Structure 1
Amino acid sequence: MTLKVYNTLTRTKEEFVSLEPGKVKMYVCGPTVYDYIHIGNARPAIVFDVVRRHLKSLGYEVKYVVNFTDVDDKLIKRAEQQGTTVPELAEKFIEAYREDMEALGIVDIINPRVTENMPEIISFIAGLVDKGMAYEKGGDVYFRTTRFDDYGKLSHQNLEELQFGIRVEVDERKENPQDFVLWKAAKPGEIYWSSPWGDGRPGWHIECSAMAEKYLGETIDIHGGGQDLQFPHHECELAQSEALHGKMFAKYWLHNGYLNINNEKMSKSLGNGLNVRELRTKTKPETIRYFMLTTHYRSPLNFNDETIAQAEGSLERIYNCLSNLAYRSKDAAEGEADEEVSRAVERIGAFFVQKMNDDFNTPDAITAVFDLVSEANRYLQKETVTQATIGLIQNQLKAMNEVLGIIAEQEEELLDEEIDRLIEERTEARKAKNWARADEIRDLLTEQGILLEDTPQGIRWRRK
């Protein structure tokens, strides 16, 4: 089975062929760290973590870079409002970001900061100036979009159309309205760095081009990010990098769709923003992650209380299955794996990989997880089960989860042996008609999140 990805650049689904066999270089635009990340930021973080995980499952060695924009107009304004410095503010929210990412199961990322790569950024701009692709006016440096013939090829627009959407202020010093800033002259009191054009700081777009080159090289395999970054940010990145080096910047461009809240676009004006830290106080991180993967990454995704409740219910079904498997494995018989179950597990595993290879189709991949859950539940109804069959199912669930990351390791306040002992004591108490002690033990187990159920094999337990 061959991996195919939808390339925004060509607007087609293409076979994925890495630049270097067995290795993938991937860059995804990260947060501007002036606040806690909102759930809109969490979507690309989770989506591209799954992309990384699936590539790894296919045998690729993945070098994954997500930057921190730790100097910016928003940071400068927020630091002034809070009476702190830009570096102190950035450090606070970088630490918060790392905590949120770890909770969401996102690891193995290289996180360069703009402020730690200023020499590379300045050198990149100087190279564009030397080639006549950029010019200085009043301490600011601009990119000449008219000198780059392919400007607009990522967003599939021409220069006349693009100039109306550029996220920069009108500036009469620019040769053309669509030219964008590479270096900003410092205003009085602002944080700054010295450069050949005077004290200042970099523009937004140049940062990613310089850091992608430093950590991954002049040409990378995958560049990802939210759909909102396609223009102007990614368009400008592409133009800068290809103008300087005269070669392709990124082979595949992947963009995730928008996330709405109650069918409305998330925005400050609507007052419907929701940050991940706040959401984590009432929703398990794996539920957030599961919810994000229930819709194909390129499609819009709607967040509300109902969709989160559905995600919680679905995950509970998976956890119940895992608990049932663990419980039955205690008295499972020796012997070979059940042939019918073995065939089903192989078929479901192949379907999972097939769907993930189809442009990371996580909704259908999750369907495969529930097909396996159903198969497991049917098997567990048998009076006799084998350890080999249960292990086969558990291993397949583990392999799927290594890609999706939706099943968290369960924290266990009570050891299994302690729970078994208490259940046995409760059974004896009931036989002796010591109802008070039996009820006391049930309450204790309930407080610990342990639910008791009567089954044909006797009383069994599971964790909430």
Structure 2
Amino acid sequence: MSLRLYDTSARAVREFEPLRAGRVGLYVCGATPQAAPHIGHLRSGVIYDLLVRWLKRSGYDVMFARNVTDVDDKIIATAEKSGVPWFAVAEANQRIFNAGYKTLGCLDPTIEPRATGHVPEMIVLMRRLIDGGHAYNVGNDVYFDVKSWAGHYGELSNQSLDNMRDPKDSDGIKRDHRDFALWKGARPGEPSWETPWGPGRPGWHLECSAMATKYLGETFDIHGGGVDLIFPHHENEIAQAKAAGDGFARYWMHNGLLTIAGEKMSKSIGNVVYLDDLLRQVRAVEVRYYLVSAHYRSLMDYTGGALADAASAFQRIEGFVTRAVEVVGLVEPAAVLPRAFADAMNDDLGVPQALALIHERVRAGNSALADRKLDDVREAVAEVRAMTAVLGVDPLDWSSDDQGDLMPIVEALVDVVLNQRNEARARKDYAAADAIRDKLNELGVSVEDTPDGQRISVKRP
């Protein structure tokens, strides 16, 4: 099966055919860093990392652009409230975003363009739109004329211009209340850049159309982002780019949101969960497993129970891989993925089905371990490592990050206690031996008696 993706613009799953054979251009709307990211933001980062990993595993050369909106109303408001420069707010929070992506194992994008670095490209795009009769300026402000594109506007979000609610225009300066800002004229105390229409700063939508086409070309393969961006942001991106004559994105992908009690996470209402909150409960790899475990288009409602279930599920995979490597030695990931796994991933990134196959292989591998069928163990662990690597959760890729620096020290200390446990078992004082094991478990040190001796593992606090 070849790769098939759900295209929002077609409202259907379509076979993916890249513009250029063997190459994929991907643009994803990244952060507006007015505050630290919550796990809803990071879910989007993990999802598009998953897409990039699968495209690369499928043999594509991927050009991945993920933008940063480093100036906008919210950043300016945060800066004014906190008494620091707007650029300091954006820079500090973007570093936290990037640290979060790294913590969760996300690959770096090919390019991470910032809005403030692409004003010349925005000026060129505005000039093309004005010359084509699709935009106009009122003083230092520049607006897109929605009615000039009325036959197409609303196609992505599947709505008619006539049925759209007119937003408020208290100044009455726009030709139509539904026209949107390409450029906002300078206001006292706000950052601004010079343009032929006067000083000002970018409108939110303009930057993405300018940056996507700069790095990926006038027509490119995939544009991604959260489902909450379909309207108006992505609708406006399409209008700007296509009215200017660009082909723009050929496929539109949108990930579902991560909510709490059915509500979208929002700092303004205080229902956000941050990555640090989760890392006090589980390890980073277990957070990643949780975030990829549901289908990317599905709505996820965060609960502590769901996070704990995901951590337990990952630990079952990790436990098998660890035991297998202890018995048969290090096994590299299989060069060829199981056909059913590849078919699941090619079916619109069907991770739930892919995970079911991984756990099925883990069960078979555990049975082979119990029966000492070592060739079957090697085959199972090779396939499990290959499949989990696609999802970014290969246990052996994470083991050194989770425990490596501490393990020599921990093992030396635990050995002292384990010797006491062994002495208790030797004198048949099983109550004392069990008590030692239970206490270690409370402290996060798991002790398992195996045919090959005791095995310990340390849970991250």
Query: 1:451–1:353: structure 2 CA closer, same or farther, 3 Å change rule?
Result: same
CA contact (8 A) 1:414 1:448 kept: no
Alignment of 1:377-392 (within 5 A): 377-382=366-371, 384-386=372-374, 388-392=375-379
CA contact (8 A) 1:349 1:368 kept: no
Equivalent position of 2:21 in the other structure: 21
CA contact (8 A) 2:46 2:288 kept: yes
Q: Displacement, 1:259? A: 1.8
Q: Displacement, 1:158? A: 1.1
Alignment of 1:75-154 (within 5 A): 75-109=75-109, 110-148=111-149, 149-154=151-156
C-alpha offsets along residues 84-114 of structure 1, whole Å, 9 cap, x if unaligned? 1111111111111110010011113121111
Equivalent position of 1:452 in the other structure: 447
Output the CA distance in 1 between the equivalents of 2:70 and 2:201. Answer: 11
Number of residue-to-residue matches in the alignment: 446
SS in 1 for 2:137: strand
* Aligned partner letter, 2:304: D
CA contact (8 A) 1:227 1:258 kept: yes
Output the CA distance in 2 between the equivalents of 1:398 and 1:432. Answer: 38
Alignment of 1:4-15 (within 5 A): 4-15=4-15
CA contact (8 A) 2:365 2:381 kept: no
CA contact (8 A) 1:40 1:259 kept: yes
C-alpha offsets along residues 381-408 of structure 1, whole Å, 9 cap, x if unaligned? 01x332x443322221221122211345
C-alpha offsets along residues 198-240 of structure 1, whole Å, 9 cap, x if unaligned? 1100100001001101111111100011111000000000111
Output the CA distance in 2 between the equivalents of 1:442 and 1:459. Answer: 11
Q: Displacement, 1:268? A: 4.3
* Aligned partner letter, 1:137: V
Equivalent position of 2:157 in the other structure: 155
- Please state if 1:307 is matched with 2:306: yes
C-alpha offsets along residues 232-285 of structure 1, whole Å, 9 cap, x if unaligned? 0000001111111x2421110011122221233333454312233443343322
Output the CA distance in 1 between the equivalents of 2:387 and 2:409. Answer: 25
Q: Displacement, 1:461? A: 3.6
Output the CA distance in 1 between the equivalents of 2:261 and 2:436. Answer: 43
* Aligned partner letter, 2:379: L
Output the CA distance in 1 between the equivalents of 2:125 and 2:330. Answer: 65
Query: 1:280–1:196: structure 2 CA closer, same or farther, 3 Å change rule?
Result: farther
Output the CA distance in 2 between the equivalents of 1:83 and 1:279. Answer: 30
Output the CA distance in 1 between the equivalents of 2:8 and 2:101. Answer: 26
Query: 1:29–1:171: structure 2 CA closer, same or farther, 3 Å change rule?
Result: farther
Equivalent position of 1:360 in the other structure: 349
C-alpha offsets along residues 437-464 of structure 1, whole Å, 9 cap, x if unaligned? 9999979986995432223444344444
* Aligned partner letter, 2:58: L
Query: 1:458–1:269: structure 2 CA closer, same or farther, 3 Å change rule?
Result: closer
4+ runs deviating over 4 angstroms:
168-171, 345-348, 415-435, 437-450
Equivalent position of 1:403 in the other structure: 390
Query: 1:328–1:124: structure 2 CA closer, same or farther, 3 Å change rule?
Result: same
* Aligned partner letter, 1:365: A
In the superposition, the TM-score normalised over structure 1's length comes to 0.88
Q: Displacement, 1:161? A: 2.0
Output the CA distance in 2 between the equivalents of 1:14 and 1:91. Answer: 38
Q: Displacement, 1:423? A: 9.5
Taking every aligned residue pair, what percent have the same amino acid on both sides?
A: 39
Output the CA distance in 2 between the equivalents of 1:331 and 1:306. Answer: 33
Q: Displacement, 1:322? A: 1.6
Alignment of 1:193-272 (within 5 A): 193-244=193-244, 246-268=245-267, 270-272=269-271
SS in 1 for 2:338: helix
Alignment of 1:159-174 (within 5 A): 159-164=161-166, 169-174=169-174
* Aligned partner letter, 2:354: A
SS in 2 for 1:359: coil
Output the CA distance in 2 between the equivalents of 1:177 and 1:418. Answer: 68
CA contact (8 A) 1:324 1:462 kept: no
Query: 1:462–1:281: structure 2 CA closer, same or farther, 3 Å change rule?
Result: closer
Output the CA distance in 2 between the equivalents of 1:289 and 1:175. Answer: 47
- Please state if 1:351 is matched with 2:350: no
Output the CA distance in 1 between the equivalents of 2:446 and 2:379. Answer: 26
Equivalent position of 1:335 in the other structure: none
Output the CA distance in 1 between the equivalents of 2:277 and 2:444. Answer: 24
SS in 2 for 1:153: coil
CA contact (8 A) 2:42 2:100 kept: no
SS in 1 for 2:447: strand
Equivalent position of 1:414 in the other structure: 407
* Aligned partner letter, 1:125: M
RMSD: 3.0
* Aligned partner letter, 1:392: E
Q: Displacement, 1:119? A: 1.2
C-alpha offsets along residues 356-377 of structure 1, whole Å, 9 cap, x if unaligned? 1110111111111111111111
CA contact (8 A) 2:184 2:200 kept: yes
* Aligned partner letter, 1:151: Y
